[in-house]
């Protein structure tokens, strides 16, 4: 069995944050306040809202939809809907075009995203979420991630795979200073009673990380933290399988 310490040393672990699915607000286990986004149905709206966020927490749902300030009028939104019916919209501009999942958002508020990128308030950050176009090398790395899980008695099943890339002022960014939170809607075809979800992240050079989900009370989505971008493979395993990675 591969020890938890060894896995951490090779960059396998990353903490995920809990997504609140309460109708109005809830308090997470660590005491941070999680606010729900507004409810709606338009998956391609380009609403610009200039409300001032009430806080600067990077909690999974902190001031997302109704406090999103867009840099352009061309933002394509692919929102995530929680089991409670809350509509969660990305705080960051980009191309959100992946159709193999039920929406993808950057849930961390814009100010905290800028800080994570080490960028000033006037910087332009774009996050593109597309159906994967990865090659054989990335596929081998995904399989390496599955093997790491199997070595720790986690028999994970691979699901949808996405390419999530970030750009700062037009320049591609591979790693950032602090985590940002991403929420992905799990497609019905991949949901399974009694299972939980995680993400295998593959980055340039074949780096593999396991990103866990703590939103187990809402099996319609996965909420995870990441400090890097690349190929993201969603996996599932029986409930409790990923506990040692959290």
CA distances from 225 to 1, 13, 180 (A): 26, 10, 5
Instruction: Characterise 137 by phi-psi region: left (phi > 0), alpha (psi -120 to 50), beta (else).
Output: alpha
* Per-residue pLDDT tens over the stretch 160-186: 999 999 999 999 999 999 999 999 999
Q: 233: domain range? A: 4-41+52-245
Dump pLDDT digits (tens) for 36-50.
Answer: 333 232 333 333 333
Of the candidates 148, 109, 147, 127, the one whose C-alpha atom is nearest the C-alpha of residue 230 is 127
The predicted structure's pLDDT at residue 37: 36
pTM of the entire predicted model? 0.72
In the predicted model, what is the mean pLDDT of residues 78-88?
Answer: 93
Work out the pLDDT band at 35, boundaries 50, 70, 90.
Answer: very low
pLDDT in tens, 6-20: 333 333 333 333 333
In a domain, 46, yes or no: no
Per residue in 48-71, pLDDT tens?
333 333 333 333 333 333 333 333
Asked if the structure places residue 15 within a domain, the reply is yes
CA distances, 215 to each of 81, 138, 221 (Å):
13, 27, 8
pLDDT over 90 percentage in the chain = 65
The C-alpha torsion from 140 through 224 and 76 to 99, rounded to 10°, is 50
The residues that bridge with 105 in the sheet, in sequence order, are 183
Task: Name the nearest CA neighbour of 246 among 29, 22, 21.
Answer: 29
Query: Are 189 and 99 within 8 A, CB to CB?
Result: no
Q: How many CA atoms lie within 13 A of 86 on its CB side?
A: 26
- The pLDDT tens digits of the residues spanning 195-218 come to 999 999 999 999 999 999 977 779
Residue 39 CB partners (closer than 8 Å, separation 6+): 85, 86, 87
Identify whether 47 is part of a domain: no
Per-residue model confidence (pLDDT) at position 217: 79
Would you state the pLDDT for residue 71? 38
Is 239 within the bounds of a domain?
yes
Residue matched to tokens 């800028």: 114
Binning pLDDT at 50, 70 and 90, where does residue 124 land? very high
What's the domain count of the chain? 1
């Amino acid at each position: 069995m591969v020890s938890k310490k060894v896995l951490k040393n090779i960059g396998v672990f990353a903490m995920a944050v809990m997504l609140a699915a309460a109708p109005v607000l809830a308090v997470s286990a660590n005491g941070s306040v999680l606010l729900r986004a507004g409810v709606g149905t338009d998956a391609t709206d380009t609403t610009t809202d200039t409300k001032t966020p009430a806080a600067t927490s990077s909690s999974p749902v902190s001031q997302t939809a109704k406090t999103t300030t867009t840099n352009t009028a061309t933002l394509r939104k692919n929102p995530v809907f929680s089991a409670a019916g809350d509509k969660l919209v990305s705080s960051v501009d980009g191309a959100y075009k992946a159709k193999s999942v039920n929406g993808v958002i950057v849930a961390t508020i814009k100010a905290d995203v800028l800080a994570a990128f080490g960028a000033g308030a006037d910087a332009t950050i774009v996050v593109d979420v597309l159906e994967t176009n990865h090659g054989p090398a990335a596929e081998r790395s995904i399989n390496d991630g599955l093997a790491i899980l199997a070595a720790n008695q986690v028999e994970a099943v691979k699901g949808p795979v996405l390419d999530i890339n970030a750009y700062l002022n037009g320049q591609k960014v591979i790693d950032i200073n602090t985590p940002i939170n991403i929420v992905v809607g799990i497609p019905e075809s991949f949901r399974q009673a009694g299972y939980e979800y995680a993400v295998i992240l593959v980055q340039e050079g074949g780096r593999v990380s396991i990103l866990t989900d703590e939103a187990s009370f809402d099996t319609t989505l996965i909420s995870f933290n990441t400090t890097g971008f690349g190929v993201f493979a969603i996996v599932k395993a029986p409930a409790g399988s990923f506990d040692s990675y959290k």
